[in-house]
């Protein structure tokens, strides 16, 4: 009689990469049945419901009733003729079986299956039972590993299918509209998020370039890592290099500690460089080298540090014209524009304005904790007729001001700024402009709960100017309590 280890080695050598759990279980059943010299055998694995019998025509009942308690409690069950319970009484006589042995298939986890063996002879060797038990215990580990591997593979394949289907129906909730112009952007986005390539976003100021960059990151393969944005036009050129690449302690006066640059901060994630044309030629060269070598060196350091990023860049200028004028490196231009997405100005998608109005009204009212308002049809018409030099950003700012300054539940044409309704800003003769100014300031202060900073932003003036006007009109904290 072969030992348990020899039986296990025989079963293990029959393994084939990529085969199913069913095939492993079938070979296990063959070796087990032959080694145990039993007349009947059942191998059952709970998930994914594998049931193998020798001979093949054995009915599932009554073996199922014997196996289930063992799977539940993990204990062996032995039944001999003349000493079995009424629950199991019908099993043995039916097949002239004198002994039945049920063993759990388990590892350190709970049982995941069981095997049931039946003999015509009730006198079983203790050595045989010991070898069979050891063999089943050894094979349980292999069967469980294969079972878990198959489950993970199934889940992974399902994940890939779901991800593919998800990408087909991604609607990019922060990018609003259904005009032909914006639909072209959606189509290109759905294609690019599956690719880990450099992307160049072109569009006028206020068209939503950073929103598009965020969509590429958060719907792409790097979504679980950082999205690091920087506006290259908002940082002085002499500081931009240290922001991007970092520096070593003592490199210059004030460098008291090592600084991690944005390239390193974005490692495994996405780095978004907005208004990239503001980079100096020297910094452009350094950026090109970083992209080619996939490594950076901090200022004052001699160590190259590997980087793994997706680079997304954006500009409101015609980058090709900048190249032709010698203001932007041609080799860097081609490195950045593996995929180019051009965003249309709002003037080219006026059909989206009604949808954008509802979107921004809901968003802003929630932010300010103010009840949303409706738009009069004439308001929508006038907003669609306006040319929108500030694009989406200008529209959002106007909706915020309308929500705060308009008096009724519906925004009327009279609430619109003069530049939109085409009225000259000159004061009407005989009308006291100072009274109008005071009333306007009061209205804004009430809406902002006397938040000076917020009120100044809505009025498009500085806080210093607002304080001067408050003094001019005799408005102070006492007035706040009365209002």
Give residue 55's pLDDT: 84
CATH number 2.40.160.60 given to 347-482: no
Exposure of 311 in the CB half-sphere (CA atoms within 13 A): 23
For CATH 1.10.8.60, list the domain ranges present in the chain. 347-482
What are the pLDDT digits (tens) for 276-312?
Answer: 999 999 999 999 999 999 999 998 888 889 999 999 9
CB atoms within 10 A of CB 321: 10
Highest mean pLDDT among 117-121, 380-384, 415-419, 474-478: 380-384
Residue carrying the six token digits 């215990």: 137
| pLDDT band at residue 90 using 50, 70 and 90 as cut-offs | low
Q: What is the DSSP string of 148-164?
A: HHHHHHHHHHHHHHHHH
Cα 62 to the center of its chain, rounded Å: 50
The order of strands in the sheet holding 40-45 is: 50-54, 40-45, 113-119, 99-105, 77-80
pLDDT tens digits along 321-378 = 999 999 999 999 999 999 999 999 999 999 999 999 999 999 999 988 889 999 999 9
| pTM (global) more than 0.85 | no
Looking at residue 414, the DSSP 8-state letter turns out to be G
> What pLDDT is recorded for position 428?
47
Angle at 392 between CA 388 and CA 397, to 5 degrees: 90
Location of each CATH 3.30.450.40 domain in the chain = 4-153
Architecture of domain 4-153: 2-Layer Sandwich (3.30)
Question: How is domain 180-344 classified at the CATH fold level?
Answer: Rossmann fold (3.40.50)
The model's pLDDT over 109-152, given as tens digits with 9 standing for 90+, comes to 788 889 998 888 766 778 888 888 888 988 888 888 888 887 78
Note the pLDDT tens digit of each residue in 370-403.
899 999 999 999 999 999 999 999 999 999 999 9
Start and end residues for every CATH 3.40.50.300 domain found in the chain: 180-344
Other Cβ atoms within 10 Å of 469 Cβ, number: 18
DSSP class of 299: B
- Selection from 228, 236, 230 nearest residue 266 by Cα: 228
Residue written as token pair 């929108």: 388
Cα gap 277→327, rounded to integer Å: 8
Q: Give ∠ CA 197-201-207 in degrees, rounded to 5.
A: 145
Number of other residues whose CB lies within 10 A of the CB of residue 384: 15
- Phi then psi for 84, rounded to 5 degrees? -115, 155
Q: Which helix (DSSP H) or strand (DSSP E) does residue 80 occupy?
A: strand 77-80
Q: Where are the alpha helices (DSSP H) in 351-428?
A: 353-368, 377-385, 391-405, 418-421
- pLDDT higher at 68 or 355: 355
* Contact call for residues 423 and 386 (beta carbons, < 8 A): no
Greater model confidence, 254 or 417: 417
Q: How far apart are CA 22 and CA 49, in angstroms?
A: 10
In angstroms, rounded to a whole number, what is the distance separating the alpha carbons of residues 419 and 204?
A: 20
What is the SS3 assignment for 218?
Answer: helix
Residue 185 has pLDDT above 80, yes or no: yes
Q: What is the dihedral of CA 110, 114, 9, 54, to 10 degrees?
A: -170
What is the Cα–Cα distance from 134 to 341, expressed in whole angstroms? 64
């Amino acid at each position: 009689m072969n030992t348990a280890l020899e039986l296990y080695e025989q079963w293990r050598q029959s393994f084939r990469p990529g085969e199913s759990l069913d095939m492993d279980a079938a070979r296990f059943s063959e070796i087990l049945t032959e080694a145990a010299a039993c007349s009947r055998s059942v191998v059952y694995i709970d998930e994914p419901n594998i049931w193998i019998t020798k001979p093949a025509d054995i009915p599932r009942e009554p073996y199922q009733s014997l196996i289930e308690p063992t799977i539940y409690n993990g204990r062996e069950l032995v039944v001999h003729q003349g000493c079995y319970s009424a629950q199991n009484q019908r099993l043995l006589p039916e097949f002239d079986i004198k002994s039945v042995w049920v063993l759990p298939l388990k590892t350190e986890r709970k049982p995941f299956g069981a095997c049931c063996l039946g003999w015509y002879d009730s006198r079983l060797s203790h050595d045989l039972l010991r070898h069979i038990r050891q063999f089943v215990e050894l094979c349980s580990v292999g069967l469980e590993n294969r079972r878990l591997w198959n489950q993970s593979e199934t889940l992974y394949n399902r994940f890939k299918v779901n991800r593919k289907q998800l990408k087909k129906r991604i609607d990019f909730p922060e990018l609003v509209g259904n005009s032909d112009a914006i639909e072209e952007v959606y189509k290109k986005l759905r294609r690019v998020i599956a690719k880990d390539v450099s992307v160049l976003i072109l569009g006028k100021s206020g068209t939503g370039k950073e929103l598009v960059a965020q969509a590429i990151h958060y719907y792409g393969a790097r979504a679980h890592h950082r999205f690091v944005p920087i506006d290259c036009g908002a940082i002085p050129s002499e500081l931009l290099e240290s922001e991007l690449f970092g520096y070593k302690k003592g490199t210059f006066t004030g460098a008291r500690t090592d600084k991690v640059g944005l390239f390193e901060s974005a490692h495994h994630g996405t780095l978004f460089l907005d208004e990239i044309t503001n980079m100096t030629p020297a910094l452009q060269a350094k950026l090109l080298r970083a992209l080619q070598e996939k490594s950076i060196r901090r200022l004052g350091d001699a160590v190259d540090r590997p980087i793994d990023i997706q680079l997304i860049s954006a500009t409101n200028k015609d980058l090709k014209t900048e190249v032709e004028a010698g203001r932007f490196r041609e080799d860097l231009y081609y490195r950045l524009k593996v995929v180019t997405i051009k965003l249309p100005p709002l003037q080219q998608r006026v059909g989206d304005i009604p949808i954008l109005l509802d979107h921004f009204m809901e968003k802003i009212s929630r932010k300010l904790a103010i009840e949303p308002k409706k738009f009069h049809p004439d308001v929508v018409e006038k907003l669609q007729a306006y040319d929108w030099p500030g694009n989406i950003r200008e529209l959002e700012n106007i909706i915020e001001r309308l929500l705060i300054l308009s008096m009724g539940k519906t925004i009327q044409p009279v609430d619109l700024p003069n530049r939109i309704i085409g009225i000259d800003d000159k004061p009407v003769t005989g009308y006291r402009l100072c009274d109008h100014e005071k009333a306007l300031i009061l209205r804004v202060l009430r809406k902002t709960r006397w938040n000076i900073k917020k009120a100044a932003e809505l009025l498009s003036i500085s806080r210093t100017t607002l304080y001067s006007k408050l003094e001019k009109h005799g408005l102070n904290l006492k007035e706040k309590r009365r209002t």
